[in-house]
Amino acid sequence: MTTRITELFSIDHPVIQGGMVWVSGWKLASAVSNAGALGLIGAGSMKIDLLREHLQKTKSATSKPFGVNIPLLRGDIDELINVILDEQVKIIFTSAGHPGRHIEKFKKAGCTVIHVIANVKQALKAEEVGCDAIVAEGFEAGGHNGLDEITTLALIPQVVDAVKIPVAAAGGIADGRGMLAAFALGAEGVQIGTRFAATVESSAHEIYKQKIVDARDSDTIITYHNILPVRAVKNPFMEQVQKEEIKKGMTRERMMELHAKGRERKGIYEGNWEEGEMEMGQSSGLVHDIIPAGDVVQRMMQEFEEAKRKILHTRP
């Protein structure tokens, strides 16, 4: 399939794997890229040296295009960027911050830059500073989430109407039906998180992967509203945070006390059900098995075609 997203990255399928903390290492990224989609290294949970190792291993494991996701809020962001450019990575996804400060450096190095946004204002800003494309991510997505709580279905058409650069849709998509829905709204690609987190090549803990499979439609919640919203599965820790938040509200200081102490690592990487944050999206209710990442890509494309054939049968 050819869209501006497949052309931008020289990939076969308009599917981008999310660069998720504690999940998206070289194994996952290279498996996805080898399947003809776009694999991403999730730099968010990696120290500088570990990131370099993962970039090098990805290059050994695939000759196809791959990219890296970097959260711009990181304290060591300049060092992080230097490693990425030094390792000649040409596709950079930026999130959690403003890409404007760094874009000249990226462009000089010949990189394609995609920024993750969660409202129309951010989309316009990303286009204005020179991003090549955007990922528009809705409220249903796992992990860190926009403050405005705009859902993918409401967000995509409004973003597509506002910008000229291509848009990939993220949040709530785990199969070919969701992918077709995103295309109906005007997206030219999709970014998939949760479905890829529950794959053989995901570096997450087996318990976390199984919790994605077990999760149903109502099993994720947002906490830290109005500060730095995070979506994760309801577990003892998240329920405790939610209870406190409903009763007393939440301050930034209290959030840092609760969230910032390695909760993501504990949940996702160590599989600690009681005390960790197991980030996943509402699409976890659509994930019923742990399979190889390449099979996810293949299955999604088949389902997309099936869903398209069905739509054709609805005639006026």
Name the residues that contact its own copies, by CB under 8 A: 1-3, 119-121, 138-140, 148-155, 157-158, 171-173, 175, 177-178, 180-186, 216-218, 221-222, 225-226, 245-250, 281-283, 285-286, 301, 305, 307-308, 311-312, 314-316
Contact criterion met (CB below 8 Å) for 250 and 224: yes
Nearer to its own copies, 59 or 308 (CB): 308
CB of 43 to its own copies, least distance (A): 27
Contact present, 212 and 288 (Cβ < 8 Å): no
Q: Which is nearer to its own copies, 55 or 123 (CB)?
A: 123
81/192 with CB nearer its own copies: 192
CB of 44 to its own copies, least distance (A): 23
Question: 114 or 120, CB closer to its own copies?
Answer: 120
Place of tokens 């149903």: 216
In whole angstroms, what is the distance from residue 271 CA to residue 249 CA? 28
Nearest residue (CB) to its own copies, 25 versus 142: 142
Residue with smaller CB distance to its own copies, 70 or 141: 141
* Structure tokens given for 55: 């970039």
Q: Pairing between strand 230-233 and 220-223?
A: antiparallel
In whole angstroms, the minimum distance from the beta carbon of 316 to its own copies comes to: 5
Our CB check for its own copies shows the closer of 98 and 177 to be 177
Rounded-to-integer distance, Cα 275 and Cα 264, Å: 10
Nearest by Cα to 162 from 137, 128, 115, 116:
128
Helices (H), the chain: 4-9, 26-34, 48-61, 77-86, 103-108, 120-129, 152-162, 176-184, 194-197, 206-214, 236-248, 252-259, 263-264, 293-312
**Which residue number, 55 or 238, has a Cβ lying nearer to its own copies?**
238
Handedness of CA 236, 242, 246, 249 (dihedral sign): positive
| Angle formed at CA 302 by CA 296 and CA 304, multiple of 5 degrees | 100
Report the DSSP pairing between strands 66-71 and 39-42: parallel
* In the complex, least distance from residue 10 CB atom to its own copies, rounded to whole angstroms: 17
- CB of residue 232 to its own copies, shortest distance in Å: 13
Least Å distance, CB 198 to its own copies, is: 16
Distance (Å) of CA 113 to CA 103, 165, 166: 8, 11, 12
| CB 135 to its own copies: min, Å | 15
Backbone torsions φ then ψ of 188, nearest 5 degrees: -115, 10
